[in-house]
Amino acid sequence: MMATNLAPGVHWVGAIDWNLREYHGYTLPGTTYNAYLVRGEKTALIDSAYAGFENQILGRVASVCDPGEIDYIVLNHIEMDHSGCLPTLVRKMPGIPIYCTERAKTGLARHYDTSGWNIRVVKTGDTLDLGGKTLTFLEAPMLHWPDSMFTYLAEDAILFPNDAFGQHIASAARFDDQLGKNEALAHAQKFFANLIIPLAPKVLKKLDEVGKLGIAIEMIAPSHGIIWRSYAGDILKAYIDWSQGVAKDKVTIVYDTMHGSTTMMAQAIAEGVMAEGADVRVCLLRDGRY
């Protein structure tokens, strides 16, 4: 198993789940659990995956360095698709410092036996100096759990936002320009609609907060799906538009009928919509395709 290079000393070392078909109540074509290795004079592993995917992660780490060389673990979010490997990692690396928010520390104790774990709580603005690489932490509660945080790598202008800006897709492509901009945005929109949209006001507030920090963001490396290296600006703009409810001129007409009369009405409405230049889709309620 091989890591994927994002920047000098920065690697994707995640896991691909080709078989996942349902998550948080919606269907999907598999997913990835993205973990990242950042190497300066010291080495940090950012996030992990469900228990059972340890071999994928450690195998990819081993293509870069001996896993025993990992000095720190950064946990942006405690949900088990990002933290499930921790018990194995801690057994292999006893005493390794784990950086997370206060709420994450509390939540980890509910998920696992954390007695003996070296958990170090961080707040917005705290940093971790790896020697030539600097990680800065930004608390992001409710994006999408209370414990969530972002991690920013200053030297390479990479944002690791965990679930934000992610997509559920299993693919050989690691980057947006490999998958294709339109397909990447379509998967990101589905992810946003199913997981993030109730939190839209918090998204806008957090993006405003990040903007006021005056930091450059050249790459966005989320915890699921592809990494935004060519279209980081596009996904940031899309999140703003989706959070503000910006919509296309599009109408969906859903109807049912017994004798065809309502079909005629639905078709007439559709014709009127199209005459005004808007996109339209007509869906028979009982049709299994919808």
- Domain with residue 157: its CATH number is 3.60.15.10
pLDDT digits (tens, 9 = 90+) for 259-270: 999 999 999 999
User: Are 273 and 216 in the same domain?
Assistant: no
Q: Where is the domain boundary, 228, 244, 260?
A: 244
User: Are 20 and 159 in the same domain?
Assistant: yes
Is residue 173 predicted with pLDDT exceeding 60? Answer: yes
pLDDT, averaged across the chain: 94
Task: Encode 12-23: b = buried (16+ Cβ within 10 Å), e = exposed.
Answer: bbbbbbeebeeb
122 occurs within a structural domain = yes
User: Are 156 and 264 in the same domain?
Assistant: no
pLDDT value of position 208: 87
User: Are 145 and 280 in the same domain?
Assistant: no
- Rounded to the nearest 5 degrees, what angle is found at the Cα of 207, between the Cα atoms of 205 and 210? 110
Q: Count each helix (H run) and each strand (E run) in the chain, helices first.
A: 9, 18
Cβ neighbour number for residue 246 with a 10 Å cutoff: 10
User: Are 69 and 172 in the same domain?
Assistant: yes
The whole domain housing 262 covers 250-284
pLDDT value of position 25: 73
Cβ neighbour number for residue 216 with a 10 Å cutoff: 10
Is residue 23 predicted with pLDDT exceeding 90? Answer: no
Cβ neighbour number for residue 84 with a 10 Å cutoff: 20
DSSP annotation of 214 reads T
User: Are 222 and 269 in the same domain?
Assistant: no
CA 20, CA 12: separation in Å to the nearest integer? Answer: 20
Q: Write out the two tokens for 129.
A: 């100096």
pLDDT digits (tens, 9 = 90+) for 115-165: 999 999 999 999 999 999 999 999 999 888 899 999 999 999 999 999 999
193 occurs within a structural domain = yes
User: Are 92 and 198 in the same domain?
Assistant: yes
107 occurs within a structural domain = yes
User: Are 143 and 280 in the same domain?
Assistant: no
271 occurs within a structural domain = yes
User: Are 178 and 56 in the same domain?
Assistant: yes
pLDDT value of position 287: 67
190 occurs within a structural domain = yes
pLDDT digits (tens, 9 = 90+) for 214-242: 889 999 999 999 999 999 999 999 999 99
User: At 275, is the pLDDT very low, low, confident or very high (cuts 50, 70, 90)?
Assistant: very high
User: Are 156 and 261 in the same domain?
Assistant: no
Q: What are phi and psi of 10, to 5 degrees?
A: -125, 125
CA 31, CA 76: separation in Å to the nearest integer? Answer: 18
**C-alpha distances out from residue 165 to 120, 185, 194, Å:** 26, 9, 13
User: Are 143 and 235 in the same domain?
Assistant: yes
User: At 290, is the pLDDT very low, low, confident or very high (cuts 50, 70, 90)?
Assistant: very low
Q: Write out the two tokens for 127.
A: 């940093």
3-class secondary structure, 170: coil
Total number of domains constituting the chain = 2
pTM (2 decimals)?
A: 0.88
Peptide bond into 144 cis (omega under 30): yes
Rounded average pLDDT over 192-199: 88
What Rg value do the Cα atoms of the chain yield, rounded?
A: 21
290 occurs within a structural domain = no
289 occurs within a structural domain = no
pLDDT digits (tens, 9 = 90+) for 28-43: 899 999 999 999 999 9
User: Are 195 and 219 in the same domain?
Assistant: yes
DSSP annotation of 272 reads H
